């Protein structure tokens, strides 16, 4: 397995060296692709798309943080409600015990229960105040989160329009710049390259024709002479229809002896 990794690593290194050093069309095409990707990455920093995406991400982060805070405050409110329920039960128990102590004419226990009732009531009042503050903060935060959610939706909607306009603007600018000759969209260079290839193939065709006919005057003369010889050797190439018709007419018109 290690040997395989080493072989693959060497192959990758050799391929990269070939790509960045070779003058072949294949290597040039790959280098151009890499350069385009790098340029696209660099341009993306200042594109409307990336800025809108950053704005949406930031706003969504704010909404997410607000929702997390809402959950935390709701959890605190639930804890207060649970504790308040326990306190209300204790106060009810205190009052029932006070009634029992009074019925038994036990002043000592009665006074102790009064102190306990007062402590539980004070705690109840504190919990009620705390709950009211938490509810107020919860409502304020809910409003804020709703506002931020609405803002997030607005950013998403506005961002779509901005991205669409930016793309239209890019295309219009590219077309107008190409028309004005300010930029080269590579179409002209591609046509020039195509013409060079056509010229090369035309030159090759002419050279091959010259080679077939003979590269020197003497060689061409010999080839022509050989062609005449071959023509003489072939002799007649067939029967002429008109001549044969005339011969058959003549033969049929001769008187029979």
The Cα 66–Cα 148 span in angstroms is 9
Residue boundaries of the structural domains of the chain: 1-45, 47-181
Residue-level pLDDT at 145: 92
Do 101 and 113 form a contact (C-beta atoms < 8 A)?
yes
Residue-level pLDDT at 191: 83
pLDDT band at 221 (very low <50, low <70, confident <90, very high): confident
The half-sphere exposure of 211 on its side-chain side, counting CA atoms within 13 A, is: 6
The Cα 19–Cα 35 span in angstroms is 12
Task: Domain 47-181: give its CATH code.
Answer: 1.10.287
Comparing 102-111, 176-185, 232-241, the range with the smallest average pLDDT is 232-241
Q: What's the mean pLDDT when you consider all of the chain?
A: 81
Q: Is the pLDDT of residue 83 over 90?
A: yes
Residue-level pLDDT at 7: 74
Do 162 and 48 form a contact (C-beta atoms < 8 A)?
yes
Q: Is the pLDDT of residue 69 over 80?
A: yes
Comparing 5-19, 34-48, 149-163, 219-233, the range with the smallest average pLDDT is 34-48
Q: Is the pLDDT of residue 32 over 90?
A: no
> Residue 113: which residues within 8 A CB-CB, separation 6 or more?
94, 97, 98, 101
Do 81 and 170 form a contact (C-beta atoms < 8 A)?
no
Rounded mean pLDDT, 87-98: 93
Residue-level pLDDT at 229: 78
The Cα 234–Cα 78 span in angstroms is 115
Residue-level pLDDT at 134: 93
Of 147 and 31, more confident = 147
Rounded mean pLDDT, 11-33: 68
Rounded mean pLDDT, 9-37: 68
């Amino acid at each position: 397995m290690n040997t395989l990794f080493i072989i693959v690593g060497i192959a990758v290194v050799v391929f990269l060296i070939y790509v960045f050093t070779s003058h072949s069309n294949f290597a040039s095409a790959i280098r151009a692709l890499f350069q385009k990707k790098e340029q696209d990455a660099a341009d993306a920093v200042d594109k409307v798309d990336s800025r809108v995406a950053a704005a949406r991400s930031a706003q969504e982060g704010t909404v997410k943080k607000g929702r997390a805070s809402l959950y935390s405050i709701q959890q605190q409110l639930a804890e207060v409600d649970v504790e308040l329920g326990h306190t209300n039960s204790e106060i009810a128990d205190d009052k029932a015990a006070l009634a029992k102590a009074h019925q038994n004419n036990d002043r000592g226990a009665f006074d102790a229960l009064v102190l306990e009732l007062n402590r539980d009531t004070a705690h109840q009042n504190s919990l009620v105040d705390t709950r009211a503050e938490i509810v107020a903060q919860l409502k304020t935060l809910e409003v804020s989160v709703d506002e931020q959610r609405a803002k997030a939706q607005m950013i998403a909607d506005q961002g779509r329009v901005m991205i669409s306009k930016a793309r239209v603007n890019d295309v219009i600018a590219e077309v107008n710049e190409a028309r004005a000759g300010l930029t080269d969209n590579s179409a002209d260079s591609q046509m020039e390259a195509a013409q060079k290839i056509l010229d090369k193939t035309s030159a090759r065709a002419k050279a091959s024709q010259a080679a077939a006919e003979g590269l020197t005057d003497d060689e061409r003369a010999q080839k022509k002479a050989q062609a005449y010889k071959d023509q003489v050797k072939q002799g007649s190439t067939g029967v002429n229809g008109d001549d044969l018709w005339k011969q058959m007419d003549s033969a049929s018109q001769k008187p029979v002896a």
